[in-house]
Amino acid sequence: MHDEIPLLGQGLFWQDLDPGQRFRTFRRTITEADLIHFIGVTGQTEVIFIDADYPGAIKGGRPVPSALTYSLIEGILMQTLLQNVGLALLELQQVIKAPVLVGDSVQAVVQITDVRPTSKSGRAVVTQQVTVSNQNAVVVMEYSVKRLLAGRPA
């Protein structure tokens, strides 16, 4: 009915991606509520995450699980770069570089490193390098991810 009207929020088809392209996400501040909800959903009740007065805790704030940081960045990517084109996450290699604390703001730079069309038409395996930094430009996480992406409709 409205196929002639451009769809807002549409991710990029694999044909629109080239090795070397880079994209930057919006920043996202991680709140106490994010931490509490994430712990509740995942059951990651490690004492360092649930006890604000834990001896040996990180100075400067309450740490959050690296899985929360990763999930927030992936959520931003799902709503933008991958919306309606992401078919599968195939492989992930991740390195945690520094802690993230409640109140930190994180954002990512995504670089396309490889685009390989598959034998099944309309799809490609796209490799991305994702670098996550905090508000002080400290790299807190890096990961390489291979995804199966859809192509432009025929």
Ordered structural domains, the chain, with CATH: 14-150 (3.10.129.10)
Directed axis angle between helix 32-42 and helix 66-79, to 10°?
100
The amino acid present at 153, given as its one-letter code, is P
Under 8 Å between Cβ of 152 and 60: no
Residue 7 has pLDDT above 90, yes or no: no
Query: What are 139's strand-pairing partners?
Result: 133
Query: What are 146's strand-pairing partners?
Result: 91, 127
Does the pTM surpass 0.75? The reply is yes
**Sequence-ordered list of residues with C-beta below 8 angstroms from that of 61, at least 6 positions apart, any chain:** 101, 102, 103, 104
Q: pLDDT of 26-84, one tens digit each?
A: 999 999 999 999 999 999 999 888 888 887 677 778 899 999 999 999 999 999 999 99
